[in-house]
Chain A
Amino acid sequence: DAKTTQPNSMESNEEEPVHLPCNHSTISGTDYIHWYRQLPSQGPEYVIHGLTSNVNNRMASLAIAEDRKSSTLILHRATLRDAAVYYCILRSNTGNQFYFGTGTSLTVIP
């Protein structure tokens, strides 16, 4: 599976939007882009995924670059509950594995 690159940490003020970037320059045409987050002392939870088009759900939005070599997870209004480690993962249509990197640790400042 292709690798992803994320910043180690980011900070955001409460109630402001947060843009979490992910680079995946070796992405293939069948790779889906997944985002998960892990709250302290919990297992990871699914946030959002997409293939080519931008996606919105109740938790976040996913903006995918036109060449698909990067993507951005957007939290529209950060809350203290959004403080977590966010993982960007690629999963191929034929691959069986999910490989997690080290993710981005998001701190939300009250």
Chain B
Amino acid sequence: NAGVTQTPKFRILKIGQSMTLQCTQDMNHNYMYWYRQDPGMGLKLIYYSVGAGITDKGEVPNGYNVSRSTTEDFPLRLELAAPSQTSVYFCASSYSVAGAGELFFGEGSRLTVL
């Protein structure tokens, strides 16, 4: 099993450009999450999904969009990139709706906006 796979691992964007961070999981997990982590800080929840076709906002959704057309994929779209979106982005998935379900994380995507 590959687990949670994120692409790209590194990307440099110019201000105003758009891009999509890809996330796919092969564990048939219903729950998927996107987090961002700024240098020296903890993780902030951007968006999450409880299943295909269902998404909801987290703590810091502004400037981002998501979609969930399949169980496996949960892409994160950045529109009109800004320097404040320079961060490391982590995708995660969880197998259970109950509180016991643990999170499995990808390796992260490091984004720099110049």
Shortest Cβ distance from B91 into A: residue? A43
Within the complex, which residue of B45, B100, B106 is in contact with A97, where a contact is CB–CB below 8 Å?
Answer: B45
> Is A56 interfacial (CB-CB < 8 Å)?
no
Do A96 and B42 touch across chains, with their CB atoms under 8 A apart?
A: no
> Is A101 interfacial (CB-CB < 8 Å)?
yes
User: Given the interface contacts A96-B31, A101-B42, A103-B42, does A31 sit within 8 Å of B99 by beta carbon?
Assistant: yes
CA distance A92 to B99 in the complex (A): 5
The secondary structure that dominates the A interface is loop
Do A98 and B99 touch across chains, with their CB atoms under 8 A apart?
A: no
User: Given the interface contacts A42-B107, A44-B43, A87-B42, does A96 sit within 8 Å of B99 by beta carbon?
Assistant: no
Interface size for A (C-beta < 8 A) is 26
Contacts of B44 in A (CB 8 A): 100
Interface string of B97-109 (1 = CB under 8 A from A): 1111111111110
> Is B2 interfacial (CB-CB < 8 Å)?
no
Apart from A44-B90, A97-B48: 6 A-B pairs, beta carbons within 8 A: A43-B90, A44-B92, A49-B100, A93-B99, A96-B50, A98-B94
| Chain B residues with a Cβ under 8 A of chain A | 31, 33, 35, 41-45, 48, 50, 56, 58-59, 90, 92, 94, 97-108
Listed by A's residue number, 22 A-B pairs whose Cβ atoms lie within 8 Å are A30-B99, A31-B99, A32-B99, A34-B102, A36-B103, A43-B92, A43-B105, A43-B108, A44-B43, A44-B105, A46-B103, A46-B104, A91-B101, A96-B48, A96-B50, A96-B97, A97-B33, A98-B92, A98-B94, A100-B43, A100-B45, A103-B42
